[in-house]
Chains A and B, each alone.
Chain A
Amino acid sequence: MNSGVVTLFKLAVLAGLMLFPAIGSSFYVELVAKILVMAIFAMSLALLVGFTGLVSLGHAAYFGIAAYTVALIAPEYEAANLWFVLAASVLAAGAAAFFVGLFVLRTKGIYFIMVTLAFAQMAYYIFHDTALGRSSDGIYLNVKPDASLFGWTPFSLDDPAQLYYFILAAMAAVFVLLSFVLRSPFGRVLAGIHSNEHRMKSLGYATFRYKLAAFTLAGALAGVAGFLYAVLFGFVTPEYLSWHQSGNVLLMVILGGLGSLAGAVAGAFAFIGLQEMFSDWTKHWQLLMGLVIVAAVLFMPTGLAGLPRRIFRTVNWGEDDE
């Protein structure tokens, strides 16, 4: 496909998202805001799964750690400073990812999947069982953070539309940031690790450090998503760190197709869209979701983003992937 057309399409989607609060009801504005947060989460995992070849099944830990950081450091009945709590929670998530990465990146393949899951479960228990998480029921964030910067208040997160735009801006920023990262020499090394780590090593790259940097960055960006999620819903619970959350975000990444940031965003839309649709129909919506997943693996191995490409390829023989 022509890259100009693709850019145009992305800009059209962005424009649509920007106009959305003007036409959507408050329910749908909040729903799309939730999807945008999940899109950030999915893009952060795509950096690992799609671009570095590290299948993490414990990514919810960093999402949840950031969400808990806001809830724990924000004063109970006053507004916290947005920029301070944002920085603190992203740092906390990044630091946790760095620390866990030191352990898990010593393993590969199936081990890596299991060990990331086990560490995430450890984080889950810390918030579920110990005094740090206060209660297994979760914590309310009563007041939304205040966006003032040296006495100047550019916007207020109490207004749903402004909160929506803040989240949309964060999503766009993460998208642009990751695009740059992937095009940078660092991103090329990650791509090299993805296709052949041994070769990168023999070329003299300290691949462990690159993987650790990617793991830390992915954790910090998952922290951005966790922070926004806590602010959006004003509530945190240990379930944010549960392995179902890790499974769901992995689903979004795969649903959208690997190796594309836009795919991760599309995957978040598809997953939450399906979730909303199925839960409208029945209390047992996870049954339908499970069937969709199984069918997708059996019949659609390249994901949503791969679908046009696959169709294109059957029509036009000899077309290359890139």
Chain B
Amino acid sequence: MDFTSFLIQILNALQYGLLLFLVASGLTLVFGIMGIINLAHGSFYMIGAYLAFALSSLTGNLMLAIVLGIPLAFGFGALLERLLFVHLYKRDHLQQVLLTYGLILIFEELRSLTVGDDVHGVAIPELFSASIALSENLSYPVYRLVISVVCIALAAGLWWLMQRTRLGMMIRAGSFNREMVQSLGVNIDMLYRTVFALGVALAALAGMLAAPISSVYPGMGGNVLIISFVVVVIGGIGSVWGALVAALLVGFADTFGTVLMPDLAGLAVYLLMAVVLLWRPEGIFRKG
């Protein structure tokens, strides 16, 4: 492998890892703060991708679709929390698994009923449709770089939100002691709803960003869900920072695993997880 194609693989690994981070960060926050295992989290990614498809065919512009899609996803998440997830906080993990598994079936069938089971493509916005030439016959699409940059900005924003704002402080406090935060006068129900909706919006945004490169297809949520689980297991539940490191590790393992041992593509990520489990069963950055 020469240097240029090596560079391309590194950029691909970064882009894939960062996108995974968007999905996994919401998952790990909802785990860490509310103690909820949410199997339907992959469905939010799928819903985001289909939103991008529907809204961009409606408006003719992916960027406009994303701007419209984020508040929609956030509102959808808040509604879902109010109607269903609020009943799960006091239930055991088994019932959380059950209910969210039921939700996956519902979301997949609603997708099938409204959009159908075909694979759809989503056009890259004209502004970013160019490619950067790296050598005579190798080039790198600008859009993938844009994804990476957006994800890095979001990761920085998330860090700022969690560490430097009053909301972030309340979220962190709420993850330690729900009753104490409540007795200090914080509306914990609203706090949980915000965190949940934020997680949904992040997963949906990842789906919207990925739609032009992965295309939009049935079952796309399931794969992302399981890989995000691997990310959360490696990073440690509840740690956003851990999710970032783990997502990048998984991105690299998957990309270079495919390049170096094509026969075992898809296995590299799970081997990485197995090694981390032997080394640190609670993940690399387990809190508390």
Verify B93–A251 contact, CB threshold 8 A. no
Min CB gap B79→A, angstroms: 15
As a 0/1 sequence over residues 77 to 114 of chain B, the CB contacts with chain A under 8 angstroms (1 = contact) are 00000001001000101110111011111101110110
As a 0/1 sequence over residues 41 to 70 of chain B, the CB contacts with chain A under 8 angstroms (1 = contact) are 000000000000000000000000000000
Q: Does B22 contact A (CB under 8 A)?
A: no
Residue pairs across A and B with CB atoms within 8 Å: the count is: 121
Select B93's contact among A113, A129, A291, A298, beta carbons within 8 Å. Answer: A113
As a 0/1 sequence over residues 274 to 305 of chain A, the CB contacts with chain B under 8 angstroms (1 = contact) are 00000000001011011111101110010000
Verify B98–A114 contact, CB threshold 8 A. no
Verify A115–B233 contact, CB threshold 8 A. yes
Interface residues on B, range: 35 or more
What is the chain B residue whose CB lies nearest that of A110? B37
- Return chain A residues, CB-CB under 8 Å to B91: 297, 301
- In the complex, A284 Cα to B115 Cα: how many Å? 13
The answer to whether A291 and B97 touch (CB under 8 A), given A107-B277, A286-B109, is no
What is the chain A residue whose CB lies nearest that of B95? A297
The answer to whether A294 and B84 touch (CB under 8 A), given A122-B270, A254-B98, is yes
Verify A293–B277 contact, CB threshold 8 A. no
Verify A284–B233 contact, CB threshold 8 A. no
Q: Does B281 contact A (CB under 8 A)?
A: yes
Q: Does B267 contact A (CB under 8 A)?
A: yes
What is the chain A residue whose CB lies nearest that of B37? A110
Q: Does A111 contact B (CB under 8 A)?
A: yes
- In the complex, A139 Cα to B111 Cα: how many Å? 31
- In the complex, A121 Cα to B263 Cα: how many Å? 16
Verify B222–A243 contact, CB threshold 8 A. yes
Q: Does B226 contact A (CB under 8 A)?
A: yes
- Return chain A residues, CB-CB under 8 Å to B229: 114, 117-118
- In the complex, A125 Cα to B261 Cα: how many Å? 14
* Listed A/B pairs (28) with beta-carbon separation below 8 Å: A106-B281, A107-B282, A110-B37, A111-B233, A111-B237, A111-B283, A113-B37, A113-B93, A114-B229, A115-B277, A118-B226, A118-B233, A125-B270, A129-B265, A130-B263, A130-B264, A131-B263, A247-B101, A250-B97, A254-B98, A286-B105, A287-B106, A287-B110, A289-B102, A292-B102, A293-B99, A294-B84, A298-B84
Besides A113-B93, A243-B226, A296-B98, 9 new A-B residue pairs in contact (Cβ under 8 A), listed by A number: A106-B278, A110-B35, A110-B93, A111-B283, A115-B277, A118-B229, A119-B270, A119-B274, A284-B112
What is the chain B residue whose CB lies nearest that of A129? B266
As a 0/1 sequence over residues 259 to 281 of chain B, the CB contacts with chain A under 8 angstroms (1 = contact) are 00001111100100110011001
- In the complex, A118 Cα to B281 Cα: how many Å? 14
Min CB gap A131→B, angstroms: 7
- In the complex, A297 Cα to B103 Cα: how many Å? 11
Verify A118–B273 contact, CB threshold 8 A. yes
As a 0/1 sequence over residues 53 to 76 of chain A, the CB contacts with chain B under 8 angstroms (1 = contact) are 001010000000000000000000
- In the complex, A290 Cα to B108 Cα: how many Å? 10
Verify B110–A293 contact, CB threshold 8 A. no
Select A290's contact among B102, B230, B278, beta carbons within 8 Å. Answer: B102
Verify A118–B230 contact, CB threshold 8 A. yes
Select A107's contact among B94, B97, B281, beta carbons within 8 Å. Answer: B281
- Return chain A residues, CB-CB under 8 Å to B283: 111
- Return chain B residues, CB-CB under 8 Å to A104: 277
- Return chain A residues, CB-CB under 8 Å to B104: 290
Q: Does B248 contact A (CB under 8 A)?
A: no
Select A121's contact among B37, B106, B265, B270, beta carbons within 8 Å. Answer: B270
- In the complex, A301 Cα to B282 Cα: how many Å? 30
- In the complex, A31 Cα to B12 Cα: how many Å? 48
- Return chain A residues, CB-CB under 8 Å to B273: 115, 118
Q: Does B202 contact A (CB under 8 A)?
A: no
- Return chain B residues, CB-CB under 8 Å to A110: 31, 35, 37, 93, 237
Q: Does B243 contact A (CB under 8 A)?
A: no
Min CB gap B107→A, angstroms: 8
Min CB gap A253→B, angstroms: 9
Select B232's contact among A109, A114, A125, A297, beta carbons within 8 Å. Answer: A114
As a 0/1 sequence over residues 219 to 263 of chain B, the CB contacts with chain A under 8 angstroms (1 = contact) are 000100010011011000100000000000000000000000001
Q: Does A103 contact B (CB under 8 A)?
A: yes
Interface-central residue, B31, B35, B226, by most chain A CB under 10 Å: B226
- In the complex, A90 Cα to B76 Cα: how many Å? 46
Verify A293–B263 contact, CB threshold 8 A. no
- Return chain A residues, CB-CB under 8 Å to B84: 294, 298
Select B94's contact among A55, A111, A119, A125, beta carbons within 8 Å. Answer: A55
Min CB gap B135→A, angstroms: 31
- In the complex, A115 Cα to B234 Cα: how many Å? 10
- In the complex, A55 Cα to B37 Cα: how many Å? 12
Q: Does A49 contact B (CB under 8 A)?
A: yes
